Amino acid sequence: MIAGIDHFVLTVRSVEATCAFYERVLGMRRLGQPSRPTALLFGSQKINLYEAGRTFEPKAKTPTPGSGDFCLVAAVPLAEVQASLEANGVAIEVGPVERIGARGAMMSVYFRDPDGNLVEVSEYLK
């Protein structure tokens, strides 16, 4: 019944700080449209950003900055992601470490965004 993920929502303290982080560190692209949430585009998916206290309806029952924990699949070798994290002063909390994703074995690194969300970036092993 379900083919994939189109988007998910992060509630953040600052849309500006969040966009700057994801654009700089992970190469995402910001999309701003009138009367719509700001979004971060990557691959064929997006992350909608709701600023705390300025959300859109409908929304999660208790939207809270820093409550996200998600995994993104890298479009480049994981070593390039690690180099970007290092160049931007982002500490890797865990990894690289082997994990099992939806499609099998992968190598992952974990770090935090400006709100403290846990971000996992992975590369599937061949």
Tally Cβ neighbours within 10 Å of residue 71: 15
Q: Are strands 45-51 and 69-73 parallel, antiparallel or unpaired?
A: unpaired
Which helix or strand (DSSP H or E) is residue 82 part of?
A: helix 78-87
- Helix pair angle (15-26, 78-87), 10° resolution: 130
Q: Are strands 118-124 and 69-73 parallel, antiparallel or unpaired?
A: parallel
Contact, 72 vs 124, CB < 8 A? Answer: no
CATH number assigned to the domain comprising residue 112: 3.10.180.10
State the sign of the Cα–Cα–Cα–Cα dihedral 56, 59, 64, 67.
negative
Counting the structural domains of the chain, the total is: 1
In a domain, 43, yes or no: yes
Q: Can you tell me the distance from the alpha carbon of 117 to that of 35, in angstroms, rounded to the nearest whole number? A: 26
In a domain, 69, yes or no: yes
Instruction: Give residue for tokens 């500006």.
Output: 16
In a domain, 1, yes or no: no
pLDDT at 87: 97
The boundaries of the domain holding residue 114 are: 7-124
In a domain, 50, yes or no: yes
pLDDT at 4: 84
Answer yes or no: 16 catalytic.
no
pLDDT at 106: 97
Q: Which of 16, 23, 86, 120 is catalytic?
A: 120
> Can you list the residues of the chain whose pLDDT is less than 50?
none
pLDDT at 3: 75
